[in-house]
């Protein structure tokens, strides 16, 4: 398979499209859904963290490397290469088509996500492993982090950009892999892609709201009914 730094490779382009859906897209969707446990409060969200942190360390690390990091790294790096070769002409009056706009936004969102994920991964997963402290990815840390309006805006935009990128990627994947051949089929998958984009964006924003609206250190007392007395959990400083 001949490779060139000046043009896209057919096989790599198809793999890039595939990794954007599985495993990267699937991981992002389940990641956002699991994050909505923040709506239930600290105990619920930390329960999710505890489940994964309770796995054997070598198994968890291997799963993250081969099922998340390597596919994501390939998708991101090859995606930047694709963007570098794009000929964006959407701002020319005669090219203001809907699909041309989608094409342009897909590449802009990809670059934004690339920078956003560097920050996100460095301050969560990388910091957790280098410090040996899983508290950095637990509820209290997220509650504190999102009090910063700059960080909050970054996550609001990062979630929206990621969900748009996945939605358009789903539409593009179905065409590239010959799943939607007819124009009618492409219109249908475009509507589904829009639902995926909007739905996952709302799910991600709901998770952020949970971190903001629920305070850490407060969990329902054992056996207390919903809305009953609460118990404060103190932590060492």
Contact 181, 135 (CB under 8 A): no
- Does residue 203 contact residue 32 with C-beta atoms inside 8 Å? yes
- What's the whole-model pTM score? 0.87
What's the confidence (pLDDT) of residue 217?
Answer: 84
| 8 Å CB contact between 103 and 41 | no
Place of tokens 């637990």: 138
Q: Which residue has the higher pLDDT, 8 or 46?
A: 46
Q: Is 71 exposed, middle or buried (0-12, 13-18, 19+ CB in 10 A)?
A: buried
Domains annotated for the chain, with CATH where assigned, are: 10-87+104-216 (1.20.1300.10)
Average confidence (pLDDT) over 47-76:
96
Q: Residue 228 has what DSSP assignment?
A: S
DSSP per residue, 49-98: HHHHHTS-HHHHHHHHIIIIIHHHHHHHHHHHHHHHH----TTSGGG--H
pLDDT digits (tens, 9 = 90+) for 111-148: 999 999 999 999 999 999 999 999 999 999 999 999 99
């Amino acid at each position: 398979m001949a490779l060139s730094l000046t043009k896209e490779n057919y096989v790599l382009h198809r793999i890039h499209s595939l990794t954007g859906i599985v495993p990267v897209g699937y991981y992002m969707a389940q990641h956002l859904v699991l994050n909505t446990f923040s709506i239930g409060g600290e105990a619920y969200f930390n329960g999710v963290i505890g489940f994964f942190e309770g796995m054997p360390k070598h198994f968890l690390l291997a799963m993250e490397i081969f099922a998340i990091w390597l596919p994501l790294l390939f998708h991101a790096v090859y995606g930047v290469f694709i963007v570098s070769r794009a000929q964006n002409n959407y701002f020319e009056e005669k090219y203001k088509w809907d699909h041309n706009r989608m094409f342009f936004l897909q590449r802009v969102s990809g670059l934004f996500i690339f920078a956003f994920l560097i920050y996100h991964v460095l301050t969560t997963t990388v910091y957790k492993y280098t410090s040996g402290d899983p508290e950095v990815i637990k509820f209290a840390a997220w509650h504190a982090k999102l009090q910063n309006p700059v960080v909050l805006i970054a996550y609001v935009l990062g979630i929206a950009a990621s969900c748009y990128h996945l939605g358009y990627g789903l539409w593009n994947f179905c065409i590239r892999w010959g799943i939607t051949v007819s124009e009618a089929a492409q219109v249908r998958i475009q509507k589904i892609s829009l639902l995926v984009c909007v739905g996952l964006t709302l799910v991600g924003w709901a998770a952020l709201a949970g971190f903001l609206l629920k305070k850490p250190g407060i969990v329902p007392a054992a056996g207390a009914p919903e809305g009953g007395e609460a118990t404060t959990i103190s932590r060492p400083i």
